[in-house]
Structure 1
């Protein structure tokens, strides 16, 4: 990314190839709509190019996921403004294209929808995307210890909700 920041934009294609699936999958888990996630993923990499000069070194994955998280927050805010009269009952539903392959996993996804956005994001980044606590801490401006404690609490909450609703 340092080379891209210095003007070698053709190298962004390699970074895109390495990271676009992880970004897309993260966004898909958060949003649940494939078409929207394609647009959001494209926008993440557009912003990475646009704001290439803000990259100051460090782990690229932390930097690109910070852009993805900000992009996601912008998307949710825009949706909130556009959908003032949305059907509250439909909010917890996942489209069929994202349904899990078996009942237990489908139930887990339903339970995850009951978490708040920050909790869901933490579980998806760490447990599903395999992002380390240290990298998540860098993205969120926290410490690895604090992130680990939050993750533990969210897993405990998720486990409780999962077994109460089984």
Structure 2
């Protein structure tokens, strides 16, 4: 099964071959978990949401329309994270600009986060999300544009600007 693309495997899952879901899970669960963990800073929450993402992949498999599987998967992960924070943090006025949870204890922060992670945490949630998806999860600009509802050119420009901002934050804290 490793020779089949994600899109072909997902098409087979969508038509009822749920045994192939294991192939997609094995290929992508670490990437989904890492994305959720870098956005939330909470290991337990990231584990729970990763399971929920794959549950939703099964539940909504018929809505897959043969596009980029990675874009579809990370759209589910992104929406699941937003839904979690919207439900559990009622004081958010704007769903699009969620301030994701960060580790509070300074000692734990030093132990659990690298210098780069600390710099990432200082970015706005939407900027951090773009960098994590593009640089850490290796999502191409075309797929990232599909996930965030923009154009590839606009996404590339935003990522470039965010990387400059991240570099500045990173270097000022050395």
TM-score of the two chains, using structure 2 as the length reference: 0.81
* SS of residue in 2 equivalent to 1:56: coil
Pair 1:48 & 2:57 matched:
yes
Choose the corresponding residue for 1:2, options 11, 19, 28. Answer: 11
Residue 78 (structure 1) shift:
2.3
Q: After superposition, what is the alpha-carbon deviation per residue over 1:109-161, rounded to whole angstroms, capped at 9, x for unaligned? A: 11211111110001111111111111101111211111100001101111122
Quick one: distance in 2 between partners of 1:164 and 1:79? 34
Q: How many residues align?
A: 155
Please name the residue that 1:99 is paired with.
112
Q: Who is 1:149 aligned against?
A: 157
1:33 CA drift (Å): 1.4
Over residues 60-93 of structure 1, what are the superposed CA-to-partner deviations in whole Å (9 max), with x where a residue is unaligned?
Answer: 111101000000111121231289xxxxxx9464
Aligned match of 2:4: none
Q: TM-score, normalised by structure 1?
A: 0.85
Question: Does the alignment pair 1:75 with 2:88?
Answer: no
Gaps of 5+ in 1: 84-89, 101-105
Instruction: Verify: 1:117 aligned to 2:130, yes or no.
Output: no
Distance 1:47 1:144, change over 3 A: same
Mapped partners of 2:119, 2:103: distance in 1 = 9
Superposition RMSD in Å: 2.2
Ranges in structure 2 where 5+ consecutive residues have no aligned partner: 1-9, 93-100
Q: Is the 8 A contact 2:41 2:102 kept in 1?
A: no
Instruction: State the 4+ residue runs in structure 1 displaced beyond 6 angstroms.
Output: none
Superposition deviation, residue 48 in structure 1: 0.7
Match of 2:7 in 1: none
Asked whether the 8 Å contact 1:93–1:110 carries over to 2, the reply is no
Q: Do the aligned partners of residues 96 and 68 (structure 1) sit closer, same or farther apart at CA in structure 2, a change above 3 Å counting?
A: same
* Shift, 1:96, TM fit: 5.3
